[in-house]
Structure 1
């Protein structure tokens, strides 16, 4: 193999390793974000289930404004 080809292979190998690390971090982040979204959806579902209908107090705007 020529020196130039060896350098290209080394560069490509390094790039693939770096991309693999990026993908691994993104997978971890996506898993964390999915868990948080699920938790927030559960909390909001509980909040909706516990609501008995709000009463507007003073100059407070109703939620549809």
Structure 2
């Protein structure tokens, strides 16, 4: 009878661990999904910034004096 009780305790402990593992896996999956959405948003923002930068005259030479505020 002692062997059966020990086996039941071990099985219960394994079921508890499996339950916590499933919860952790679900939480990690949700986290990865949110991170993927953020990555996609950032990629689209970068693409938009690149388009905006390409629309400007980025190839022209700009002097640092042009960047000085008017009071200099």
Bigger RCO of structures 1 and 2 (CA < 8 A, at least 6 apart): 1
Higher helix share goes to which structure? Answer: 2
Q: Which runs of 5+ in 1 are unaligned?
A: none
TM-score when normalising by structure 2: 0.68
What secondary structure does 1:48 align onto?
Answer: coil
TM-score when normalising by structure 1: 0.74
Matched length: 59
CA-based RMSD: 2.6
Which residue is equivalent to 2:50? 41
Q: Which runs of 5+ in 2 are unaligned?
A: 1-7
Aligned structure 1 segments of 4 or more residues deviating by more than 2 angstroms: 51-57
Bigger radius of gyration, 1 or 2?
Answer: 2
